[in-house]
Each structure stands twice: as C-alpha cells, then as structure tokens.
Structure 1
Amino acid sequence: MIKQILGTALIAVLGIILVMNMLNMNKESSTNEYDVTGDTEAEGVAIGPPGSSGLEVGELSPDFELKTLEGETIRLSDLLGKKIMLNFWATWCPPCLKEMPEMQEFYDEHGDEIEILAVNVTGSEKNEQAVHDFIDEYSYTFPILLDTAMNVSDEYKAITIPTTYFIGTDGTIQHPRKAGPMTYEFMEEMLEELN
C-alpha cells in the first residue's frame, strides 16, 4: 500500500515538473525578440534575416520597375530629378499602419514637392486582394507599388518594415534609412533636407 502511494506521488511530481517545463518553454518562446536592424531605436517587423543596415548615404538608388495597384508601371529611373520618399510596408505590420495616416496627410500637403512610393511587400501578404481591400478601406491616395516577388525589398535591404529611404534629385540616397514608423514632422524635416 505504501509503495502504491509513493508511486502515485512520484508520478504526480513528475507530471507537475513536465507541465512546469512546458509552460516555461512556451513563455520563453513567446517573449523572445531579436533586433535584426542594428538600430536600437527601430520599431518594426522583421521580414528577413539580419546582415545589413541597408543602403548607405551617397549610394545610387537601385533602379526598379513595379506595377501600381491600378496596373500602371513605375520605373524609379523615370523619376530622376525629383525628390522621392521610398517606403516599404505591409498590411499586417502594425508600425506600418501607424504611419500611414500621417503619410496620407504628408502626401496631401507635399505631394507636389516629393514623389511618395509606398512599396507593398506583396510577397509577404495573404494575397494581392488584401492590399486592394486595405487601401480601399482607408482611402489612401498615394501611389502603392506591388513587390510581388520581393526583389525590390531585397535589393533595398528592407529587412524590417516599415523602412523608408529618402532619395535626392540626383538619384542617390541622401539620408540613412528610417526603420520604423515615421511621423509627419519627421517627413517634413526629411523633405526640407533633400536636394
């Protein structure tokens, strides 16, 4: 009888230890966060492996050609001579959603002074229709480009989204990339500093 009680107690203790270990493993896996940007101030969502801080100031912006939501083709090199804000984003990215209303306000106020190209990392979306539905729901009017193969996102090393580059009239990157959501004030400051 004592052996049965000790055996049952031992099984109960082992069961409790097993449950505690499983709970601890779940807790650890749900709270681990890794900064892949190298920027301790960055807010965003990682969509790729670490290894780069993005394109450098002074580098020529890699040319690309992407379709817009409306089916038009935009080639970056066709915009040479204009100031450009190149933003990488996704519908499932909370920091991206946080900055988009301010991007719309900025576009409404300064759209004649700077080209805003919002490149959706479409290859990471549920489907392309999700992008259309999102833009329609919030009535954003700045150009939305679809990076379905994610080649442009890769070339610009947009491993954290949102990521934004500011390109000058000479086609070069003129400021360090901005990883994380932008404010209206930040966008105005960048516009004033672009040439």
Structure 2
Amino acid sequence: MTAVEQEALKDLLLARIRDVPDYPKPGVLFKDITPLLADPVAFGGLTEALAELCVRHGATKVVGLEARGFILAAPAALRAGVGFVPVRKAGKLPGATLAQAYELEYGTAEIEVHAEDLAPGDRVMIIDDVLATGGTAEASLELIRRAGAGVAGLAVLLELGFLSGRDRVLPVLGEAPLEALITV
C-alpha cells in the first residue's frame, strides 16, 4: 500500500469511528468502531491492511483479543491465509488452557488461550482494536511465549497515545513491531 493509499484509508477509518462521551463511565471518551464495521468499504480496507501486516511480518497464526479483536483478527487471518486463535477472558474456553493474569486500573483480570492452539515454530501476529494502557497486549505476549511460539508483531486499529500503552508493550515485544494504523 502506498503512502497516499495509507493516508486515504486512515481518513476513511477515522471518519467511521464514533466518539461516545461518558461511556462506559463519566469522563471516558469511548471509541466506537461499529460504524466502521457496518461500512463494507471501510471494513474491507481495514481487513486488507491488517492482512498485509500479517504477511509482511511472516505471521503463521493470528491471535485476536476478546472481544472486538476477534472481529478484526479473524478476517485478517483468513485473508492472509493463516490460522486464527482467540485469546479469551478466563473461563470461556473449554479444555486445557494457558492463563495469564494482568493488572487493571482497579484490580486484576485474566486471559486464556487453548494450550494446543499455539506451538513452537508459530509466528504470531496479535491483533486488537485499540491499544490503551497495554495490559491485555502485554498479557497476550506472555501467553504466546509461554506456549513456545514466537511473536511476529502487534497490530491495532487505533492507539490511544495519551495512555502510554506503547511504553508498556515495547519492552515485552522486543524486536517485533508494533503497528498502529491510527494514533490519537
């Protein structure tokens, strides 16, 4: 994708992301991607861009983070011709799982992946909708490495730069790239 095409896609995507003030609580400006998903041109362009990143960075699997990351990661994985693996909130996957706890603003949470879905030799691209504080991304990186897989990169639709998630995630990513299609 050329620089001009990237800029046009960024403009299209930004125009389809709705700001919802005071959701889910007062003082939060929620970034709603449902208008983007409802537009086949915008959603198709986003899927192509994410799939291109998967191919460029040599991914053999794509991990999508619950829940909106599933919506973006699954079609990108299909388009890139690689497998899709969901990372879910604790207790949502049947069978043997690997779990990773992480810190939230007020407490902790835990995510899981099926133990057999990632293996040594896999190169995994993590895809999510938003990089905010970086807690979920950091925990997913730990899960991938504990499964013995390598990290191809982390790709997000939108990075909320003012929350400094990049600073938290970059040391854990190591040499793997962090790709944000849009940073605000």
Higher relative contact order at CA 8 Å, sep ≥6: structure 1 or structure 2?
1
Hey, which of these two has a bigger chunk of strand by percent? 2
